Chains A and B, each alone.
Chain A
């Protein structure tokens, strides 16, 4: 009798411990090792990580050339320069020069040019045969005057193999409610909330010269071209504030976990459904948004694009990279790495994310559950103000190593597989 009572009393204790363990094991891969020698990161056994550069500023997206030069874009120009050129030697990357009088996120190399974007324009710089910028002071303007209304204004870019460049133009609103009061259709989608396609070698284009390639995407920061599928993949930042706006429909916990951060495989003309719907990764359903008559259960019109994969709410995917190298073990080949910047809109619930995730792929489609590949960026406090580092950009080096930027302090991490 006594022991039974004790058991009942202990039940919640077990539950709490269970919860803690469950949370700790979310990454499924518990062979990961924490090691100060890995620049404070927890990575799978057999990998090593080093911080090859530190305190660079708000380092966003980056590219690494076959010659081992790194071009990294700073969120805000430092001393009037927004792109840093680093060269890596003996485990350290040293800043060699800097150029571009604008900050921004997007940066890409294709067909002998370095492309880079401010929050409203896209430029390119001709490269020499060593992939060095020939005239850093004289970029060509590819597109200018892209929608830039403060919110979600970073312009990530990627090129295909047919002479096109793609840029996300984020919605300047959380859920369009200020712009679509009568629920007649969200006008933000006319000039934002999607991916636009431009000619990569045509100068001085305006937004109206481009094609709205895909719409209904609230904000995309991480995107990459999948060479196996010859297709654009993007990561959407899902909407905020389900509980704040609809406290009777969503608890703070539900509002922290929902909606999913979605990966989409895009084709021309696709509509991912923002602001009318969101994806619920627990029900595996597209749910009608509460602003448009939803109650957390009603499903949305099936005409909208189904995500290719889904991740928990507010993780903030800022980098996407398909791994095509030969250095990492076979399972990583053609899979996706995703840099999750880390949440803020989970408050008052604990914040999550602040990690690099690996999503296995098979035949060009997500295949199987995602796992945390690199963790520990945030350090002791996983919250946006106090996180030591926040992952943002991803790149693959010539030897197949993975590069990760941190835009909190400006660290560049290099993660390699030791044979």
Chain B
């Protein structure tokens, strides 16, 4: 009985410590694991606060990344959105969004490839990967 209490107390304290550890996440994009795994870390650190953990965005402010033409279609345009930001009066799945997406030029080619691969294969999206070489080409083209 006591053991049970101790175990559950231990489990809870573990939960607590992991919770408090979350308060200060380290902004490190680790280079191990698959592109999609690395991409999730980039997403969590850079994109999540606007597009939300589930990619659903914020009504009227930040668009969803779920089955939008921008996410699924032309990879060059998609890469440009991350590099240059996005601030245009456009409809995204029938709605307009008024917030401004700032540029993320400071991300490395691989980080952009990873995060876009993650986005294109998450939240119900099923699209091909983005490679660092593709990002490099778009970055150089302008």
Contacts and interface: CB of A to CB of B under 8 A. Distances in A.
A252 B23 contact: yes
A15 B27 CA distance: 27
B66 to A, nearest CB: 11
Contacts of A172: 100
Interface residues of A, number: 35
A6 B6 contact: yes
Interface stretch (A148-156, A191-199, A270-278, A328-336): A148-156
B55 to A, nearest CB: 10
A16 B12 contact: yes
A344 B51 CA distance: 10
B16 A408 contact: no
A6 B5 contact: yes
A19 to B, nearest CB: 9
A347 B49 contact: yes
Interface in A1-31: 2, 6, 9-13, 15-16
A368 interface: no
A153 B97 CA distance: 11
B59 A384 contact: yes
B91 interface: no
Given A9-B6, A244-B49, A174 B100 contact: yes
Interface string B47-69: 01110111011111110000000
A347 B52 contact: yes
A251 B24 contact: yes
A178 B52 CA distance: 23
Contacts of B22: 252, 348
B98 interface: yes
A253 B23 CA distance: 6
B9 A6 contact: yes
Interface in B1-39: 2, 5-6, 9-10, 12-13, 15-17, 19, 22-25, 27
Contacts of A75: 60
Nearest to A17: B12
B16 A15 contact: yes
**Interface-central residue, B6, B13, B22, B45, by most chain A CB under 10 Å:** B13
B125 interface: no
Contacts of A347: 48-49, 52-53
Contact of B17 (A2, A12, A251): A12
Contacts of A344: 50, 52, 58, 61-62
A153 B9 contact: no
Contacts of B48: 347-348
B107 interface: no
Contacts of B24: 251-252
Contacts of A385: 52, 54, 56-59
A103 to B, nearest CB: 11
A383 interface: yes
A293 interface: no
B49 A348 contact: yes
B128 interface: no
B46 A151 contact: no
A408 B12 CA distance: 37
A46 interface: no
B99 interface: yes
27 contacts: A6-B2, A6-B5, A9-B6, A11-B13, A12-B12, A12-B17, A13-B12, A15-B16, A16-B19, A75-B60, A150-B87, A151-B100, A172-B100, A174-B102, A241-B49, A244-B46, A251-B23, A252-B23, A252-B25, A344-B52, A344-B58, A347-B52, A348-B48, A348-B49, A384-B52, A385-B58, A385-B59
Interface of A: 2, 6, 9-13, 15-16, 75, 150-153, 172-174, 177-178, 240-241, 243-244, 247, 251-253, 344-345, 347-348, 383-385, 408
- Lowest 8 CB-CB distances: which A-B pairs, in order? A12-B13, A12-B16, A9-B9, A344-B58, A384-B58, A385-B56, A13-B12, A247-B27
